[in-house]
Chain A
Amino acid sequence: MADAHVSAAPVAHQFDDFQQQTVADTFGMWLFLATEVLFFGGLFCGYSLYRNLYFEAFTAGSHLLKIQYGAFYTVLLICSSLTMALGVRAAQLRQKHALTIYLILTWIMGFAFVYVKLRYEWYGDYLEGLIPGVNWAPSRESLEMVNHFHATLPHLALFFIFYFCMTGLHALHMIVGLGLLTTLLIFTQQGKVTGGNYNWVEIVGLYWHFVDIVWIFLFPLLYLIGGRYV
């Protein structure tokens, strides 16, 4: 079924056939994701170090984050991963209409993630004076939380630096992903995907799922430190 379409697919001059091109493109994306693992890895390394040194402060900081947001994002991203995966499936089956719908759904959920994160969560943090270096004036409640866990404010600041770095880098990846999805949507409308290189969807999908995986780790690491039973 797929073979009938393969012949129509464009093959770049350096490749012998479409199969080689597909395999090379996909492998390139996996390698890029390996790079990304280490890119985030630097932050995860710093996070682990400070979390171990200043566990109290990190627990306090975690309690200052709203777990509802974290859980909401997680579910949202899982949903978007599902639609993305279904989009890849639609691309494999050359279903242009279904692919369009899945891509739009994915885009909307990705956008919702970024919007809620910036407009509500981060802005809320800003109002509460929880952004070190920008607006760092923790409220009375925050200070009580710090006190409760026997932490100190500079260490709390370290937690929030890593919180903003890690979620910020993640959000940046989401924004890049939104750009990729937009491009993919345009190409789909031009018929370049279902009538040509359907593998682009797979590649963007790999990226999107990777960003989802990063969040799967960020959620427990940032929002669930030390348990919420206090």
Chain B
Amino acid sequence: MRITQFFLYTVACLLLATSVQAQDEDFRKNAPKPGPAPKIELGDYEQFTLDNGLEVIVVENHKLPKVTFQLLVDAPPKAYGDKAGLAGMAGQMLSRGTKERTKAEIDQAVDFIGASLSTSATGAFGSSLSKHKEKLLSIMSEVVLQPAFPEEEFDKVKQQAVSGLAYRDSDPSAIEGLVSNVMRYGSDHPYGEVETEETLNNVTVEDAREYYDYNFKPNISYLAFIGDINAKEAKKLAKKYFGSWERGTVQKEFYERPTPPEETEVDFVNVDGASQSNINITYPINLKRGTEDAIAANVLNAVLGGGGLSSRLNKNIREDKGYTYGVYSTISPDRLVGYFSAGGSVRNEVTDSAVVAMLEEINRLREELVPVEELEGIKAYLFGSFARSTERPETVARFALNTARYKLPKDYYRTYLEKVDAVTPERLMEVAKKYILTDQAHVVVVGNKEEVAEPLERVGTVKYFDKVGQPIAAANTEIPEGLTGFDVIDDYLEAIGGKEKLEAVEDMSMEMSTSMQGMAINMTMKRKEPAMMSMVVEMNGNVLNETRFDGEKGYVSQMGQKQPIEGEQAEDTKEQAMLFPEMSYEERGYTAEIVGVEKVNGEDAYKIIVTDPDGNKTTEFYSTETSLKLKEVTVQEGPQGESTVTNELSDYEEVDGIKIPRTMKTIGAMPAPMTMKVDAVKINEGLADEEFKVE
């Protein structure tokens, strides 16, 4: 429904005309002028070093009765290869038990004083009301200096890390972030390596302890006291609680600096059924913190997409085109290797247009001088951001930490705004030419392959990756001339036994089994022509799910709830209940389009999109060699958006002259892929209709 010509303001005017006209309202016409710019007073801080080399920073601020303690262990980045994830697990272990206390005791002590405490691979963070400061610091010292690495806690950390992966792999923006890292740095680099279930399982509690023993040394660490505390007190506390920490040698590892790709490429990760594409235009850059380039690059980024809704990217992609809820960019300096990144999520139809528009917008920075007026606005924005950030004493502490850690000039932050002010349009273009590489970018797109991948060819070669950034091999075979989807399906029916034999099947029952987390799951499925079905799923003897369908209606009973199968779902189930639905695809008005050849577990397969008369699609894969069905992918549209289930079929064996897959792997329906073994198959045993009766 389109709305024609409507202007709210006309009515607003009508409403107000009477009251406002009487007065002199000229002052409303133009934006008021600002008063003289305020001076930003950066809070002072004190800094001293303990005998063991620990650098201590104190930022006093008594506005609130609170303190924050921040310990930063500047552990050098390192790749852990087949133990990726080790550092994070080691960091979590610190607060999971000390020589004095169990995790539960630590938690109770921290919570009792209303404090918070967390530990990571690079230190610890604590915060509380100032009246509890010593208590909190003593606990923090205990977890940092005397962690005990209890085995049973380690198993829990590992289990949770593994569960976390399942969550990660269902979140498109997490996939995009992870794959972007792999693309930028390569999976051998500390910033690019990927945690998988396998690498997490390789880590032992001893590895975690070694990580700690090696890296947690005072002479590479910084301790910041922030808030309602004075320097004298901080000094006393630092000595008391961290003075006994022993120094040690921590070596840096050398890594080859990652480089951008030769030419711009699209790195595509398929998420079947996604309603949006997550886009990230990214590549590594060699930009160090604190350099003049870093300051100019920060200004450049604010122009492009680092700021609010008025950045160029947001104005173009959100405000003009309405493609997105928001797009943002980052130019990040780093000691090892920095990065450029620009992206956001956009709806499927406009994915390629959004990428093209963003690349153009980004590239404009190289081609055109930023107008002086726009630059002045950006400088004002950066001034304001800086002013706003100083509201929190944590900012002053961060400045102090950075100054020490990156060996910045002492007045770096005090003169920061002056340096920003000195940046000219010409200087911006110079920096853009150095760091804006739209011809050498990874365009990472996480989205619905069928709907959005092909048009992206106009941006660059489209390469396909899985959800952890590993390349997906391309198939070798081409589609023979004239081969149709139904030809492939006919070959399949022939291969599993031939139409005649298949038509003679009246009923079939299957017993299947699988295990999840050590629990045995058994499934019995019985089917009878036409479209009757009964299924029982048991775990350790308890019935988890019972489904019955009499050909027209049915129910699913799951977790104590019984839901009827009716309407559209019944139609769907009818299809599932058929023994060989492929036999009647044509007569039921389905179409079968052959769209390509892809690898399925190393085997070339024809990819067929089967569409039913209602437009529902299933993607089926049939071996080019054996003609057997290897995989089917279903995307279902529901009230919660779309979702995908993949079934992989293998180990075909003959039963009464008909080939039946004895192994079925289901992906996307359970937390982890589930492999079902078919233990027994019976054909034409004469199942009675009563077995499928629905009350």
A and B: interacting chains: no
Binding site for B on A (CB under 8 A): none
